[in-house]
Amino acid sequence: MMDRKMDWIEHFKVDPIDILISSKNEALNYFTRRDLLDERVKPIKTLWELPEVDKILLRQQDNGSWKYPGGNIDIRLPKNYDQLETYRNLGELVGKYGFSKDHKAIQKAADFLFQFQSDEGDFRGIYNNQYSTTYTPAIMELLIKAGYENDTGIINGFEWLLSIKQDDGGWALPFRTVGKNLKDALNDPVPISPDKSKTFSHLVTAMVLRAFAAHFQYRKFDEAVKAGELLISRFFKADKYPDRRDKKFWERFSYPFWFTDIVSALDSLYYLGFNVNNPQINESLDFLRDKQNRKGTFDLKLVRGRDEDFPYWITLAICRLFKGYYH
C-alpha cells in the first residue's frame, strides 16, 4: 500500500518520480527529493556551485544587471532591456537553483532592479514610462522568494498594486483599458492611468497574483482571494484584451514562470487557499493529468528557453501542484 504521504501520485497515469529522480540534472534531482519525497537534503547553497550556475553568474555585470542581447532602441532604452534580462536571469537563479539574498549576486541584482521602482511603487521601464501591472508583480515575486519580503520596496509595490486594480477586483494593463496600442503607449512620455470601470485581464491578474501568492502575509488578503475567483472564471477562455488574447495561451508553458498559463495560475491559487473542491481547479488538474505520456512527463507546448531539461522542470512544477492539491 502506498504511503499516505505519497497518495497524490495515484492521481497521475504514470508515476513521474522515477523520470525525475533519474535525471542527471543535480538541481532537478535535489528538488525532487526535497519537495516531492520529503527527503533530507544538503543545504541549498550546494546548488549555487554548479557549473551551469557559474555560466549565469559570469555574465552578470558590475552594476548587478545582465545585458540584453540585441534590442531595438526605438522600442526601449538599453537600460530597460537590461532590466528585462536581469528579471529573466533572476528567475533562473531563484526558480531553478534556490538562490536568495544570502548570495552577493542576488543582492546586486536586487539593487539594480530597485533602481527602476518609481515613487508610486511600480517597477517602470520595460514599458518605458507606462505602468506595468505585469512585470512589476513578476519582479516582486522573485524578490520575495529571494528573501526581500519585508523590504520597503516590496511593501510599496503591494500598495501600488492594490491602488491600481480594476473596480471588478482584477487587474489590467492601464494603457489597454483606454484603448491604446503598445506602440503608442511606449511612445507616450506620461504614464496612462487606467479606466477602472473596464473589465480585468486574466493574463495580468494571474501575474499580479504570483506576487501575492509568494508573500506569506499578502496571500491572505481578501483582495487576492477575490481576484483568484475572477481568474478561475476565465480558465481556458480568451482574454478581454489584445495581449496573448487567444485561449491557446493557457496551454503554452514556461519555467521559470513568465506569462500566464494554467500551471502558473494553479500554483498561485494553491497558495491563496483554493483547493480541489473547486470544480474548475479539479478539471484543470485533470487536463494536466490527461497530457501525461508513458515516460511520466507531459506532452505540452513548451515556450521560452533552451534548457534541454525543460520538460522535466515542467513535470516537477506539475508534481508540486498535485502534491499540494491532493496531499
Q: Which residue has the cell 478581454?
A: 240
Range 130-159 average pLDDT: 98
Residue 70: its pLDDT value, please? Answer: 85
Residue pair 260/202 in contact (Cβ under 8 Å)? The answer is yes
- What number of residues does the chain have? 327
Angle between helices 78-97 and 104-114 (to 10 degrees): 140
**Is residue 125, in this structure, part of any structural domain at all?**
no
**Is residue 253, in this structure, part of any structural domain at all?**
yes
Range 302-313 average pLDDT: 87
HEC assignment per residue over the chain: CCCHHHHHHHHCCCCCHHHHHCCCCHHHHHHHHHHHCCCCCCCHHHHHHCHHHHHHHCCECCCCCECCCCCCCCCCCHHHHHHHHHHHHHHHHHHHHCCCCCCHHHHHHHHHHHCCECCCCCECECCECCCCCCHHHHHHHHHHHHHHCCCHHHHHHHHHHHHCCCCCCCCCCHHHHCCCCHHHHHHCCCCCCCCCCCCCCHHHHHHHHHHHHHCCCHHHCHHHHHHHHHHHCCCCCCCCCCCCCCHHHHHEECCCCCCCCHHHHHHHHHHCCCCCCCHHHHHHHHHHHHCECCCCCECCEECCCCCCCHHHHHHHHHHHHHHHHHC
Residue 160: its pLDDT value, please? Answer: 98
**Is residue 25, in this structure, part of any structural domain at all?**
yes
Q: Does the pLDDT value for residue 166 go beyond 70?
A: yes
At residue 188, what is the residue type? D
Q: Note if the pTM is more than 0.85.
A: yes
Q: How many other C-beta atoms are found inside a 10 Å radius of the C-beta of residue 289?
A: 15
Q: What is the dihedral of CA 301, 211, 40, 109, to 10 degrees?
A: 90
Residue 74: its pLDDT value, please? Answer: 66
Greatest alpha-carbon pair distance for the chain in Å reads 64
pLDDT digits (tens, 9 = 90+) for 256-302: 999 999 999 999 999 999 999 999 999 999 999 999 999 999 999 99
**Is residue 36, in this structure, part of any structural domain at all?**
yes
Q: Which residue has the cell 515542467?
A: 314
Phi and psi at residue 292, to the nearest 5°: -70, 140
**Is residue 235, in this structure, part of any structural domain at all?**
no
**Is residue 306, in this structure, part of any structural domain at all?**
yes
pLDDT digits (tens, 9 = 90+) for 80-105: 999 999 999 999 999 999 999 999 99
User: What is the Cα–Cα distance from 205 to 255, expressed in whole angstroms?
Assistant: 19
pLDDT digits (tens, 9 = 90+) for 200-254: 999 999 999 999 999 999 999 999 999 999 999 999 999 999 998 999 999 999 9
**Is residue 120, in this structure, part of any structural domain at all?**
no
Triad 317, 321, 204: Cα angle to 5°: 80
C-alpha to C-alpha distances, 135 to 139, 167, 194, 326, nearest whole angstrom: 6, 21, 16, 31
Residue 5: its pLDDT value, please? Answer: 60
Domain span at residue 15?
1-42+248-327
Residue 1: its pLDDT value, please? Answer: 37
Residue pair 256/91 in contact (Cβ under 8 Å)? The answer is yes
pLDDT digits (tens, 9 = 90+) for 1-46: 345 468 999 999 999 999 999 989 999 999 999 999 999 999 999 9
- Domain total in the chain: 1
**Is residue 114, in this structure, part of any structural domain at all?**
no
Structure confidence at residue 174 as a pLDDT band (50, 70, 90): very high
Structure confidence at residue 307 as a pLDDT band (50, 70, 90): confident
Range 115-125 average pLDDT: 97
Q: Does the pLDDT value for residue 159 go beyond 70?
A: yes
